[in-house]
Amino acid sequence: MLMTILLQTVPGIDTGSTGFMLLATSLVMLMTPGLAFFLWGLATKRNILTRMVQSFVSLGWTTVLWVIIGYSLCFSGGEGGIIGNLDKVFLNGLNMNTIWSGNGKIPEFVFIAYQMMFAIITPALITGAFANRVTFKAYFIFLTLWQILVYYPFVHMIWGGGLLAQWGVLDFAGGIVVHATAGFAALASVFYLGARVDKNSTPNSIPLVAIGSGLLWFGWYGFNAGSEVQVDFITSLAFLNTDIAASFALIAWLVVEWIRERKPKFVGLLTGSIAGLATITPCAGFVPLWAAPIIGTAAGLVCYVAVQFKNKMKWDDALDVWGVHGIGGLLGSILLGVFASKAINAAGADGLFFGNSTFFVKMLIAVVGASIYAFIFTYLMLIIINFITPVRVTAEDERLGLDSALHGEKAYDEGSL
């Protein structure tokens, strides 16, 4: 009640949209601990804390970077360019009464916080490919450089009025900016690091994987619906598209895996839901409702095939970041080029299905180009970091477990009653 009264005293503030965006921001923040639970459940007992530390440190350090330079480089100046300027370093020139110019309805502080949550979870996604192999010091350097040189430029180019936005590329909530870049960066990490010493590790707690999946699905409503940055009909469409696509992807993955392996696998159907969520992300507020089941089903099938291909090639992406997020982001961006409709969202475009092959080609070029850039830059960056500090842990530390070797802690005190 008090919040509503205070907001109503500020001219131009839409209290409903502002309240919703605060909730959406909180939901996206919850996705990073959700990811930590997801990774925790899949990790072996010797490496649980290492996985969680990598997610939680992003909550802190990414916020520091975002306040100092991140927001400015993404959303200040640089129209039509690759990166913004430094006009808003340390949030210079902003105060609690500054209204976000994007729609004139919410405080800019709220938009800063919302976008910061995206910056926090994106590099955390990549850590699934690091399974049991990366030193903490190297990860910390990676976390810093990857955001500045990969994430910030693509945020600016697509969401900050930069080069790709002016070219006509769309990305409702992060198919290119988040999932394609993170997924192909994960694949580059797998290639650089090589296989684990012990590849036959099994999840320590599938129920924790389920909890993490549930938190991610829950948070994804803020991730996608919140990307409209106000409350309107598109917000509701994005919300429903998100749930439908995730559900159809879950069932598609469950069925195809059940047919191939003769048993319905719980981890498989959970992974299918995440694939659907990642794939609908770029499309959520730009495509009609009838397209969501098609996109979700395609996500479940295509991402399943990608994971099987990864297994056949013996790429040690233990948590399938490439197959789920990378391929999901790639597929979703391409399907946006197919199913986008200006009749649904006037701020969008018509896709191939509605007779606009040009937009389809632009989306294809943009997502493939972003994926290639993220892959190449990540690989080169890991080479450079290795000159500063070893990127990969020793075989001895890997066998001991990184919780003890790197952090001197254990997730479970197995000697206690």
CATH number at residue 43: 1.10.3430.10
pLDDT number for residue 2: 45
Contact 15, 8 (CB under 8 A): yes
pLDDT for 6 beyond 50: no
What is the structure's pLDDT at 10? 56
Is 263 a domain residue?
yes
Which residue has tokens 């007992």? 45
Q: What are phi and psi of 392, to 5 degrees?
A: -95, 140
Instruction: Tell me, yes or no, whether 412 lies in a domain.
Output: no
Per the CB < 8 A criterion, the answer to whether 174 and 281 are in contact is yes
Q: Tell whether 221 is covered by a domain.
A: yes
Predicted local distance difference test score (pLDDT) of residue 37: 85
Of 10-19, 157-166, 246-255, the poorest mean pLDDT is in 10-19
Average pLDDT over residues 265-289: 96
Nearest to 40 by CA among 250, 203, 274, 268: 203
pLDDT at 408: 73
- What is the mean pLDDT of the segment spanning 276-294? 98
Q: What is the pLDDT of residue 417?
A: 43
Q: Is 146 a residue whose pLDDT tops 60?
A: yes
Q: Is the pLDDT of residue 415 over 90?
A: no
**16 pLDDT above the threshold of 90:** yes
Q: What is the pTM of this model?
A: 0.94
Give the residue numbers spanning the domain of 296: 14-395
Determine the average pLDDT of the residues in 284-289. 98
Confidence band, pLDDT 50/70/90 cuts, at residue 414 = low
Chain-centre distance for alpha carbon 389: 27
Alpha helices, H only, 340-415: 357-388, 395-400, 402
402 is a domain residue: no
Output the average pLDDT for the chain: 91
Residue 411 lies in a domain: no
What is the distance between the alpha carbons of residues 90 and 69, in angstroms, rounded to a whole number?
Answer: 7
Q: What is the mean pLDDT of residues 180-195?
A: 94
Q: At what angle do helices 206-225 and 233-261 cross, to 10 degrees?
A: 150
SS3 of residue 107 by DSSP: strand
275 pLDDT above the threshold of 60? yes
% of the chain at pLDDT higher than 90 = 78
Q: Is residue 410 very low, low, confident or very high in pLDDT (cuts 50, 70, 90)?
A: confident
Domain count, the chain: 1
Query: Which 8-state DSSP code applies to residue 100?
Result: P
Is the per-residue pLDDT at 1 higher than 70?
no
Sign of CA dihedral 158, 162, 165, 167: negative
pLDDT of the residue at 7: 47
Q: How confident is the model at residue 393 (pLDDT cuts 50, 70, 90)?
A: confident
Comparison of pLDDT for 87 and 39, the residue scoring more: 87
Cα(243)–Cα(149) distance, integer angstroms: 33
Q: Is residue 2 part of a domain?
A: no
Residue 103 clears pLDDT 80, i.e. is over it:
yes
Confidence of residue 5 (pLDDT cuts 50, 70, 90): very low
Task: Over range 293-307, report the average pLDDT.
Answer: 97
Between 55 and 318, residue with greater pLDDT: 55
Q: Is 396 left (phi over 0), alpha (psi -120 to 50) or beta?
A: alpha
